[in-house]
Structure 1
Amino acid sequence: MRVMTSNRTPPKKRQLSRYMKFLAFASICFVSLLPSVFIGYFQQLNYAKENIEQLSVHLTTLRLMAQEGLLSPQAAVSTTQNNKLVIWCSFFEGELVSARAGLTPQPGVERRLQLIWIDPERKISQQLPAPDLLNRATGDYKLRIPLVESKGRESALELGLSYAPLYSVLEDQLALSTVLFITAFIFLFGAVLFIDSSISKITNRIIRAIRTENNEGLAIDLEMAEGLYAPTYNALMEALEVREDQLLDTRDTLESVFDGLQIGVSMISTEMRLVIVNRRLMDLLGEFDDKARFISEPASLLNFSGQKPPVEELLRRALKSLRYEYQDVEQTRKSEKRYFVQEVYPLFGEDRKPVAFIFQCRDVTPERLAQLTVQNFNMELQKQLDFQKAQLEETHQRLLQASRLAAIGELAGGVAHEINNPNGVILAGAKYVLNRVQGDATVPEYIFKYLERIVKQSERVSDIVRALLTFSRRRPQEKAILGIADPIGDALEIFQARLAGGQVRVKQEVAMDIGKIRGNRNELAQVFLNLFNNASDAMPEGGEIKIRAWQSELQGQPAISVLVRDTGTGIPEELLEKVIEPFFTTKPVGKGTGLGLSISLGIIEEHSGVFRVRNYSENGNRGAEFEITLPVVLDNRVPGNKNA
């Protein structure tokens, strides 16, 4: 009898073999997925370090721009907010926040944040906290860096730094790795068991078919094996199609967000070629074609019509400085001026070399128009303030002059009384003696000469005393409505006697219909006569006196101005302010009293007018000119005259 031997494995050994396969497969799955976890961890750690380094370089750049006076608060917070680790950013000028970007933290949350003061004199990257991806409790900080101190106020930048996004990404990666591990283990383990079982059956059948030399059975088993793998392949293809649809949806969502930005944005390569543009930038440029037409085209397509300097120059500046650059652009469209700000900042690779540029274009027309409006308002306000200041200064000088004149008037009045009485006795006595000795041949000739000299000088003293009394006892005179030509004509009629046989000519340009004034005709005639006499005395060799009257304004109200101009040598500049002071004269001794212009000034001020004196030089002629401005009558009232 033949003994039959069996090749089957005992049940316990088969079960132990399956457990070993299970442990070996689990170890393989764990070991194969473990590197991805470590790679993800170190990627996030390097990503955090890169962002910290970029933030350090950016803060250093902002501080240098602030020291050069090229930094705007809005640009500082907007560019800082672009860093992935920055949650919010605030620009302080003193204790006031002038610009802010990002999410505003709750007061309770902000107080719990760890405050870190950045010393700008040290390397900033060494002062920023290093990320601890294994300890989430140390992930949020508040940084404050001083930029520049100007006018006693310190400008500083405060920003919230958070590593929470890195923690979230790492947790997501760990969770995804765990899910993948479990899913892959279950799927692949089941597949291996199924395949192992199927292959074992097929192998056994093949062996039996070979032993029985049954080729037909072998063909049937091969067809069965082919049918086992078809469902797995179809499931994998369906999963890939679902994943592709998800990626396409994500791409469409990101593209919609990119096109929905209200700032024109484009990415430009270092070769100055367009990589991507959004719809807002095309709208600002006035382009409505397919934006795919812009891809790989030169950056010159981003220029406005006739723009100077062009965008290429801005890119070259950013490539040279490796920092944020901007320029202002004005554009006129359909007779409307628009204002834009073009900004460029580089994107750096791992070797700290620029790999691309982000270009932004913002329409700042409303802000710029508001700024121009404020500037124009400030300029107009400054003009008004300067005008009011000049008027106040003029009024102040007139008050000082009036006070001096009042003091001199009081002194002159007292002196005139003391001089007039003894001078009257001297004059009367000299005239009496001169009349008694008149015709007496026994009286020497020199006595007649001395008596006549005494009489003449006493009469001159009387004239001076009379002028002093007139100056010190001025009283308001009765006024009436009259034309300015009336007192000018009266003065010229008296002045004509002095012109007879002389070389002084008078040119008159006085219209009769330039308005009426309220004044005293005799006093105004005295003023003009004083001016005519002074002009004639200034031209001993002859010349021309020009009289002109025209409509003007006085303190915003209608007025009449009269100009009396001579062609003499003028008044020395250092004496212009003194010629209207009492007893000051440029004439020879005995020629004038120095009271004519002072009295004239008093008369004009009593008429609510303005009296000015200056030199002129015109068409080869030069000399002195006196301008008198008087208010005209409005509804039987004179502006500025409460007594009228």
Structure 2
Amino acid sequence: MARNPSHRRDRTPKRQNTPGEDALSRAVASGDAPLGIEGLDDAAWLEVIHKMDEVYAQLVEDEIALEEKNAQLEQSQQFILGLLSSMSDVLAACNERGEIEETNAALCELLGQPDSVLRGSRFEHWLADEASAAALRETVRAGAPMRDAGIELNLRSRDGVAVPVDFSCTPRGGPRGRRVGYLLVGRPMGELKRAYRQLREAHEALKQAQQQLLHSEKMAALGRLVAGVAHELNNPISFVLGNVHVLKRYAERLTRFVDASAQPATPAERARLRETLRIDSILTDLPSLIDGTIEGAQRTADIVIALRRFSAVDREERVAVDLNDVVERAIQWIRKGAGPDFDVHWTRGAPMLVRGNPGQLLQVLMNLIQNACDAATGAQRERPELWIELACREGKVRVTIRDNGPGIADEHLPHLFEPFFTTKPPGRGTGLGLSISYGIVERHEGRLTARNASDGGAVFTVEIPQLSAEA
């Protein structure tokens, strides 16, 4: 502890001359100093007195420094005692003979003994069984290398019950690296097991919540997919249904005409019935009705086949996929779903083949297109617009999706693909769409990036290794 120099001078004791020194000083001053010792003159006596003053001053300085060191030592001791008393882990510092030299409040509370009883006793005395004592002796045996070791010992609690404690045994080194004892620091296994159980329960709860959120995101993607499919299936099914109703009426008329033709009648009566039932117009209309019904059924079958091809979201098999087909299907199903109407600037080009999972790639592009539409709609644009480009560069197929929305805030760009991060209002998104899309693209050995366009809007880019025609 530092002291004020001026304060130090004030505290320095004043040295009082002895009567002989005072007399000698007066004699020296008057010139009548006796020569008490032969061969010593007055100057020598003054030098002796001066040296005595210097030695006394040095003793005073040493005393002040010693007081400062004692104060610092006391502060250090209080600090160490505070640490030992606040530790929740039990601690015992033992010498080479296994006698306890230092302990803490946690160990005293566990054993139910005061510090005065524990100090000087052998640590083995407080173990609950011989197996623990043997394990401790094996760990700290003489000549063993100095290294940290983990050991589980059973301590005898205040109630006489064995309490398992997980100890860390650390050697205590003395001068010249010589081992002078060991330090035992441990925590009761009950607390560890309880902490591990709580950690495991929290981990399971987190996994369950994550699975629920992933399921919610999949259901949201499936909802958009189903809405688009239902709208696309509505037209051919309605067309087929209408044709079938017409064919049913035609069949009824044809049945009446055939039944009437089987009865005896004159040619004039048959001609009149034929005209009444409009058999000729039916026969003329039948081929187009049948062709239209077949066409509608075929269109429905094509949609179902495409749905089967693109709906395997969780299957991991990889096939050759033309990203033109994926982009086209994503646009159709998003546009025909429940989302807002938007304009897409995209032209199908040459085949862009990659090896991947069609359903997973469709999920990625549907998510990016849906997000672009939502961003442009939220910006109060007159009409949302998207620009989609496919290109091949350096052995990679690149899909670029740009919108006319407000763009991405600079503080949001670093967190865009983090799970549960979303800028949408509550109830509009789980924050997992982009994270899942990022993982899908990464599993396809590709990369998904985001940036802001120079003229406004956000730009998302998907890059996936191209599949050569030979492959």
TM above 0.5? no
Per the normalisation by structure 2, the TM-score is 0.34
Per the normalisation by structure 1, the TM-score is 0.25
Point out the structure with max Rg over C-alpha.
Answer: 1
Structure number with higher relative contact order (C-alpha < 8 Å, ≥ 6 residues apart): 2
